[in-house]
Every structure is written in C-alpha cells, then in structure tokens.
Amino acid sequence: MKRTTLILTGLFFVSLLLAEANAQSAVYFCNQTGAYGFAYGLPKDEVLKKAKDACIDFGGIEPKLIAFTENSGYGAIALGKDEDGDRVIGVAIGFSNLETAKSKAINACKEFGGLNPKIEDTFHDIK
C-alpha cells in the first residue's frame, strides 16, 4: 500500500511539473492588416510558433509578439478601431479570473487608442 501511495504521489508531482511547463500563453498582432493570433497551454517554443502561425493564417504579414506569459490563467483579447479606422488590440493574459482579464484587455485597447473596444476572444490556460 505504501509503495502504491508513493508511486501515485510521485506521478502527481510529475504531472504538476508537466502542466507547469505548458502554462504558457502568447499573442501576436500585425499592425499592417489588423490580424492577430494566440495560443496557450503549450511549451514556450510551441506556443510562440502556434500563435505566430495563427496570426499569419488570419492575414498577418509581419506578426509581432505583443504578449507572452509563463503564468497560467484567463486571457482576453479586445479589439477596437482608432480615429483612422485601423484595428487596435488590447490583451490581458495570465489572470486569476475571466472578468479581470476582460476588463484589463478593454482598458489596454483604450490606452492604445482603440475606440469602442469589444472582447473578441477569451481562453483559460489551466495547469
């Protein structure tokens, strides 16, 4: 019985370490086209590649990394348009609850000149 408990405890800690290694989120944005891409729940190299590829898939020409975290949590992406009609993005990732992530994303979009921002995407990167 003790050996089974020890093995299960060891497997639990290994699963925590693996989950922590995957607690990554990234967002890319293309200023020229307004396309964005995001990814979460993967190791750093994979999450960066997947988010960049998603931006390109949605029309991004020169994607730029605008947000990355190694913390798990909720993420939100808000979009608005500036006075010239260009797309503006606000991102919040790695927050403990969805409402905070949404509020922070909206505020970030406004800070960058986005008018009437709306939440476009949300996600939850769990450990």
Residue 33: per-residue pLDDT: 97
Element (DSSP H or E) covering residue 55: helix 44-57
**88-119, pLDDT tens digit by residue?**
999 999 999 999 999 999 999 999 999 999 99
Q: 116, 90 in Cβ contact below 8 A?
A: no
pLDDT score of 55 more than 70: yes
The full set of domain ranges for the chain reads 2-125
Report the percentage of the chain scoring pLDDT > 70: 81
Residue 102: per-residue pLDDT: 98
DSSP letter string, 40-52: ESS-HHHHHHHHH
pLDDT score of 23 more than 80: no
Model pTM score: 0.82
Residue 2: per-residue pLDDT: 37
